[in-house]
């Protein structure tokens, strides 16, 4: 079966060029057939456009001025042919290039998605959420649309070449004037386009910074208010907005020059060719028909010289976008995938925290702070390698020691509460250096073990297949059935176990009910229970869940804990929570303090310790 160009096969990182210009060539080459067809059709259409005034000139000279009707039929047929070619063939060429552009944009978005899946958390600190939005929208559009603009620029070149040849045949002076005018337009506009590229690079960088700040504050506005960071963020946002405004003024200034030259220089070319042609006609060097052809051809060439300038603008914009895309494609996963072992079994161990998850049991992890416990879960699921927890004092000290100058200042800045919640501060160049420094630490091989085998020695595919980590995961826009990805019987069982029956009923009691993007048509508790249902439906050998019922009431949480314990009986399950409703059904409890296991045992045994009892009783109250 012929492959669908809108769904090309996934590529490895080595298949995507790291150089911006090579990436643009890679994008265009993938649509070779459509691009070549579009160029050929627009070449035919462009030549036909130029032949229109030439054909009319022949009718003037051989029919009207010669007062002979004999050539009229021949030239009338020619006029109809070139008119059809200039319009119908143009439509076909336009369609081919538009399809090539659309496929190129889809290919870029698919490459972004595939690379994000491969790189995972390796993108963290290098690419902000706002930048990701721009990459998949504006930049993907520009790298695709340059193919479209390139076709029209090529059409302008063909029209210039054909027009210059025909005018040269009428009079070398006309041909020389036309070619000289086109070259002069290029020499005048070229430096301005260079300035436009410079300003567009600065503008694109400012857009990425500001979008990242806006995205981060939307995600943490409540926390930001809680630590009194609103004023600090507002100052930073105003400063970034002013930088973006100034960068926009720079782009607008350069672009206004380009647009002005694009409109005025072609008119000057028309005037010059008309003046030369008029003098030649007065001296009898060319005929009246040839003078009219010179005016018509030059008008068309001048009109499409704007397309050539537009092509140059599109290429510049595409190169700027390609630079951002290749920087993203150059990020790499911070999780090593060079293990070869398979078939691990036994206890899951995290030496950094001392946490052990026994097979076939429900283990509840109690911690006053969720982050250290979540980090331990991430290490056991191989979503984090060895290294200090981001944002902790240990991590900040390590980042400070590894960094120098601005990076050290950025790492220190992370110590403030506002800096920890404001990704806007981390999106600056200096802070990004600190994040990169953390990434190098995170790249150390994990010491987590599964039985007598290190997790790092296992293939990453096997770990992903057998171990499922449930956090505040994303809900995509799709049906309920597509969300759960199992047959209806298993889906309904998972929904029941997760206490998500109201989710099913609110979606029309049908697997075809639509879940909106990010689950926006559901409440917070419903989204959390749907995530849990999705995890239960996957029926992974090991399920690691972080606060899976924090957004539900006590009665619902009790039912969920009871049903999950029954549904996962005999399967390895670990839940991070301090809720007594889960602890009552736990086979084992691990109590973490400052990210380290202080004690293990049953809930009743650990409750003999005042600090533990105080922690879990607060949850109960």
- Give me the chain's average pLDDT, please: 79
Per-residue pLDDT tens digits for 436-457: 433 443 446 778 999 999 999 9
Contact, 309 vs 258, CB < 8 A? yes
Q: Which of 425, 370, 409 is nearest to 547 (CA)?
A: 370
- pLDDT value at position 141? 86
Is residue 121 over pLDDT 90? Answer: no
Given pLDDT bands bounded at 50, 70 and 90, which one contains residue 210? confident
Work out the average pLDDT over 476-490: 94
Distance CA 342, CA 362 (A): 24
Given pLDDT bands bounded at 50, 70 and 90, which one contains residue 496? very high
Assigned CATH topology for domain 16-329: ABC transporter transmembrane region fold (1.20.1560)
- pLDDT value at position 66? 74
- Give the range among 9-13, 93-97, 385-389 with minimum mean pLDDT: 9-13
Distance CA 458, CA 344 (A): 8
Contact, 561 vs 534, CB < 8 A? no
- pLDDT value at position 595? 92
b/e for 497-515, b at 16 or more Cβ within 10 A? bbbbeebbeebeeebebeb
- pLDDT value at position 453? 93
Q: Which of 256, 253, 359 is nearest to 573 (CA)?
A: 359
- pLDDT value at position 306? 63
Q: Which of 467, 470, 463, 465 is nearest to 545 (CA)?
A: 470
- pLDDT value at position 192? 66
- pLDDT value at position 394? 44
Q: What percent of the chain has pLDDT over 90?
A: 33
Distance CA 102, CA 162 (A): 30
Output the CA torsion sign for 468, 471, 474, 478. Answer: positive
Work out the average pLDDT over 207-233: 62
Is residue 593 over pLDDT 80? Answer: yes
- pLDDT value at position 389? 47
Output the CA torsion sign for 249, 253, 254, 255. Answer: positive
Given pLDDT bands bounded at 50, 70 and 90, which one contains residue 414? very low
Q: Is CATH 3.50.50.60 what the domain over 348-386+445-620 is classified as, yes or no?
A: no
- pLDDT value at position 444? 60
Identity of the highest mean pLDDT range in 244-248, 324-328, 393-397, 521-525: 521-525
Q: β-strand 449-450 against 362-367: which pairing, if any?
A: unpaired
In the chain, what are the domain boundaries? Answer: 16-329, 348-386+445-620, 389-441
The set of residues, in sequence order, having a beta carbon less than 8 Å from that of 122 and lying 6+ positions away, is 331, 332, 333, 334, 335, 439
Distance CA 466, CA 516 (A): 29
The set of residues, in sequence order, having a beta carbon less than 8 Å from that of 41 and lying 6+ positions away, is 89, 90, 92, 93, 96
Q: How many other C-beta atoms lie within 10 A of the C-beta of residue 602?
A: 12
- pLDDT value at position 50? 82
- pLDDT value at position 392? 44
3-state helix, strand, coil in the chain (%, to 5): 70, 10, 25
Given pLDDT bands bounded at 50, 70 and 90, which one contains residue 153? confident
Is residue 505 over pLDDT 90? Answer: yes
- pLDDT value at position 145? 85
Is residue 281 over pLDDT 90? Answer: no
Distance CA 313, CA 256 (A): 12
The DSSP code for 475 is -
- Give the range among 172-186, 328-342, 415-429 with minimum mean pLDDT: 415-429
Is residue 115 over pLDDT 80? Answer: yes
Given pLDDT bands bounded at 50, 70 and 90, which one contains residue 519? very high
Q: Which of 155, 39, 30, 36 is nearest to 105 (CA)?
A: 30
Is residue 410 over pLDDT 70? Answer: no
Is residue 386 over pLDDT 70? Answer: no
Given pLDDT bands bounded at 50, 70 and 90, which one contains residue 549? very high
Contact, 483 vs 515, CB < 8 A? yes
Distance CA 109, CA 102 (A): 11
Distance CA 154, CA 39 (A): 7
Work out the average pLDDT over 256-268: 76
- pLDDT value at position 433? 37
- pLDDT value at position 511? 94
In the block, which residue shows the tokens 């603008």?
Answer: 313
């Amino acid at each position: 079966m012929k492959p669908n160009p809108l769904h090309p096969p996934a590529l490895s990182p080595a298949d995507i060029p790291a150089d911006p210009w090579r990436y643009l060539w890679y994008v265009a080459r993938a649509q070779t057939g459509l691009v070549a067809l579009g160029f050929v059709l627009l070449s035919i259409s462009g030549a036909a456009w130029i032949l229109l005034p030439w054909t009319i000139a022949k009718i003037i000279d051989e029919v009207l001025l010669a007062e002979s009707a004999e050539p009229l039929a021949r030239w009338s047929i020619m006029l109809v042919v070139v008119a059809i070619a200039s319009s119908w063939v143009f439509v076909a060429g336009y369609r081919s290039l538009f399809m090539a552009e659309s496929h190129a944009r889809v290919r870029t978005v698919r490459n972004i998605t595939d690379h994000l899946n491969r790189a995972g958390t390796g993108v963290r600190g290098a690419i902000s959420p706002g930048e990701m939005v721009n990459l998949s929208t504006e930049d993907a559009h520009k790298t695709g649309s340059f193919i479209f603009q390139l076709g029209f620029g090529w059409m302008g070149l063909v029209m210039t070449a054909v027009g210059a040849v025909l005018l040269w045949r009428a009079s070398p002076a006309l041909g020389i004037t036309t070619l000289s005018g086109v070259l002069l337009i290029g020499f005048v506009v070229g430096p301005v386009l260079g300035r436009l590229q410079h300003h567009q690079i600065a503008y694109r960088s400012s857009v990425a910074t500001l979008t990242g700040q806006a995205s981060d504050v939307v995600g943490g506005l409540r926390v930001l208010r809680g630590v009194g960071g609103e004023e600090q963020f507002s100052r930073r946002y105003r400063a970034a907005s002013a930088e973006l405004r100034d960068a926009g003024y720079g782009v607008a200034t350069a672009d206004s020059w380009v647009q002005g030259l694009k409109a005025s220089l072609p008119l000057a070319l028309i005037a010059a060719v008309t003046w030369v042609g008029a003098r030649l006609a007065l001296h009898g060097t060319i005929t009246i028909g040839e003078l009219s052809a010179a005016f018509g051809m030059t008008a068309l060439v001048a009109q499409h010289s704007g397309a050539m300038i537009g092509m140059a603008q599109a290429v510049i914009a595409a190169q700027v976008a390609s630079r951002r895309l290749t920087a993203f494609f150059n990020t790499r996963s911070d999780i090593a995938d060079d293990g070869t072992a398979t078939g691990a079994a036994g206890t899951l161990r995290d030496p950094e925290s001392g946490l052990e998850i026994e097979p076939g049991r429900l283990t509840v992890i109690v911690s006053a702070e969720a982050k250290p416990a979540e980090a331990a879960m991430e290490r056991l699921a191989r979503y984090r390698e060895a290294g200090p927890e981001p944002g902790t004092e240990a991590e900040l000290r390590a980042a400070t020691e590894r960094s120098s100058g601005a990076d050290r200042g950025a790492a220190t800045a992370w110590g403030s509460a506002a800096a920890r919640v404001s990704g806007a501060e981390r999106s600056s160049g200096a802070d990004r250096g600190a994040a990169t420094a953390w990434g190098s630490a995170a790249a150390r091989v994990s010491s987590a073990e599964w039985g007598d085998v290190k997790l790092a020695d296992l293939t990453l595919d096997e770990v992903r297949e057998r171990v499922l980590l449930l956090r505040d995961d994303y809900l995509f826009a799709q049906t309920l059935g597509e969300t759960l990805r199992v047959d209806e019987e298993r889906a309904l069982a998972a929904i029941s176990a997760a206490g998500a029956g109201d989710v099913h009923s609110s979606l029309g009691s049908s697997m075809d009910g639509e879940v909106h993007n990010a689950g926006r048509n559901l409440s917070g508790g419903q989204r959390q229970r749907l995530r849990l249902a999705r995890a239960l439906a996957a029926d992974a050998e090991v399920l690691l869940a972080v606060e899976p019922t924090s957004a539900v009431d006590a009665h619902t949480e009790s039912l969920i804990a009871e049903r999950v314990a029954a549904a996962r009986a005999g399967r390895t399950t670990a839940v991070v929570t301090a809720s007594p409703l889960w602890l009552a059904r736990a086979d084992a409890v691990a109590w973490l303090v400052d990210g380290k296991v202080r004690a293990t045992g049953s809930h009743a045994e650990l409750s003999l310790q005042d600090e533990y009892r105080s922690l879990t009783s607060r949850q109960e109250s």
